[in-house]
Structure 1
Amino acid sequence: MAPSTPSHWGLSGEPSPIHDHGRAAHRQRAERRPAAEHWLLLSADDIATARAEWRNCGVALLHIGVRVGAVGISGTLVHAAAGTDDPARVSAYLGRALLGGPVFFHRSIERYYVLVQGSTGRRPELERAGDDAEFTGSAHYLGVPALDVTTPEAGHTFWSVEFESAGVLASADVLRQLVDCCRLRVAQTISAGRRIGD
């Protein structure tokens, strides 16, 4: 199944290159990581405790919804849009669709969390029935993986699209396009199934 394509990818349906996955890009990410870690840890009740949780457990509880917000999207929705549940291919899809906006995946609840500005608030398109995509609100704690936990093998909760730079989050408008594309693909899949069953 071909992945669903957000409109900002262009008329050809092919995304513009976003990341240089070469050695230079890897080195730049490593250089930016301490600042990115510190920025995220400012959302912890206690920075030292959260840092220790990252080091020992790979996940730390952060206060979500003030400095940084999160929108949870069901794995079913994302996998339908990506046309796969393969972690590497889903990561590539989300990286393109969100223009590099950071995303992590909780495997235990099959939910992707896209990091956005805390001021994003509740948008109507994220409150539709079915709980397939929603803003987490302003008074929630969320288990956020350490920045070096980037594969399923590295942790039960891992970054699908890495958090690379302090303060660089997903655009609310680009996120809306992704959610719309996900929901369209699910509707198309259901419709196709009904036609086959008729």
Structure 2
Amino acid sequence: MSDATPPVHALSGRDRARRLAAYHWLLESAPHRDTAGMEWTRYGVALLTAGIRWDVVRVPYEVLHPSFARDTAPRDLTQRLGELGVIGPVFCDPYRPFAYFMVPPRTDQQWPRDLAAAGVECLGGTRPYVYHVGVPQVERAAPPGLFWLAPPDEAKRQYVNPEHLHQVLHACVHQSTEQEQADAPQVIA
């Protein structure tokens, strides 16, 4: 690792070691480790390659809850993921607004395409597409910019369970569609 390693602010021994392990793990997906370290230091976000150590499932906020938008607070997103039973590393881009769920590499090869109409997509390394994803610095826990709801814990090698995530997202989309139909004005012929 280069001298451009982002600082791990005022953490105790074990927490510091876990954060550094997470950095090293994430950097395994960097096209150029020195560049990624510099990007984290300067910008708080580094461009990493999906499909090496992880794939990401990109989900619009409104799929998680119809009222969620750019200004949704991180605590509300975290609470919703708890309600849905989603565990594992998740980061957010509030500007777009999307949540990115880190799933095992090659998940994109089996990810069902039935949620694509809702804007849900699995980004991985399956050819011919290789996705480069902006990933926030491990310490970033709130906006502005990209931030982690749950940073990776390399010590546990924990991913979001893709099967559970798909079931949860499918249920959210189905529930939202049912609600829209119920709220639609009834036409009497």
- Report the TM-score when normalising by structure 1: 0.74
Residue 162, structure 1, aligned to residue 141, structure 2: no
Distance 2:38 2:83 in 1: 32
Q: Deviations over 1:124-154 (max 9, x none)?
A: 53444415211113111000000100112xx
State which drifts further: 104-113 or 37-46: 104-113
Superposition map of 1:8-47 within 5 A:
29-47=15-33
2:8 alignment partner in structure 1: none
The alignment-based identity, stated in percent, is: 28
Aligned length, in residue pairs: 168
Q: Which residue of 155, 169, 175 corresponds with 1:185?
A: 175
The CA RMSD over aligned residues, in Å, is: 2.5
Which ranges of structure 1 fall in alignment gaps of 5 or more residues?
A: 1-25
Q: Which secondary structure does the structure 1 equivalent of 2:65 belong to?
A: helix
Q: Which residue of 108, 133, 137 corresponds with 1:142?
A: 133
- The answer on whether the counterparts of 1:58 and 1:145 sit within 8 Å (CA) in structure 2 is yes
Distance 1:89 1:111 in 2: 14
Distance 1:131 1:122 in 2: 19
- Report the TM-score when normalising by structure 2: 0.78
Distance 1:182 1:28 in 2: 37
State which drifts further: 124-133 or 180-189: 124-133
Distance 1:28 1:90 in 2: 27
The code of the aligned residue for 1:178 comes to V
Shift of 1:81: 8.6
Shift of 1:96: 5.3
Shift of 1:99: 4.2
